[in-house]
Structure 1
Amino acid sequence: MSASTLLWGVLFGSIGLGFFLYGKKQQAIVPLVCGVALMVFPYFVSGTAWLVVIGMTLMAIPYFAK
């Protein structure tokens, strides 16, 4: 595990926590699920490029799934 992978994981985990709290407060299922996914997926992805691609995709889903 490299330093960049660790920092991207922390960044996506923090954003995921924000999505999770927002989804819980607004009772919206899409941000809630995307928040949980953003917090969990860095544990299963080892490549930095895949980490960034999957993280950006998960961050964009609530915007397009209104």
Structure 2
Amino acid sequence: MDTAILVWGLIFSSIGIGYFIYGRRQSNMAVRWCGLALILYPYLMTDALTMVAVGIAIMLVPRFVDL
């Protein structure tokens, strides 16, 4: 297993926990679901560059989507 995948997975999962907690406290469903996605998606990734690209895309979703 590549070390970069483990490190990026830890970073994006930590950000996802923050998004999830913030979304739950603010009752913002877009942020909450993106937080959950950030926590879970690193398990599906096998390439570090793809992981970073998908993680940044998920982090930007609440900026443009309001649920």
Please state which band the TM-score falls in when normalised by the shorter chain: over 0.9
Amino acid at match of 2:27: Q
TM-score normalised over the length of structure 1: 0.95
Q: Report how far residue 64 of structure 1 moved.
A: 1.6
Tell me the TM-score normalised to structure 2 length: 0.94
* Structure 2 residues without counterparts, runs of 5 or longer: none
Shift of 1:63: 1.2
User: How much is the aligned-residue C-alpha RMSD, in angstroms?
Assistant: 0.7
**Percent of aligned pairs sharing the same letter:** 36
Q: Does residue 48 of structure 2 align to residue 51 of structure 1?
A: no
Q: Deviations over 1:11-48 (max 9, x none)?
A: 00000000000000011100000000000000011111
- The question of 1:8 aligning with 2:1 is answered no
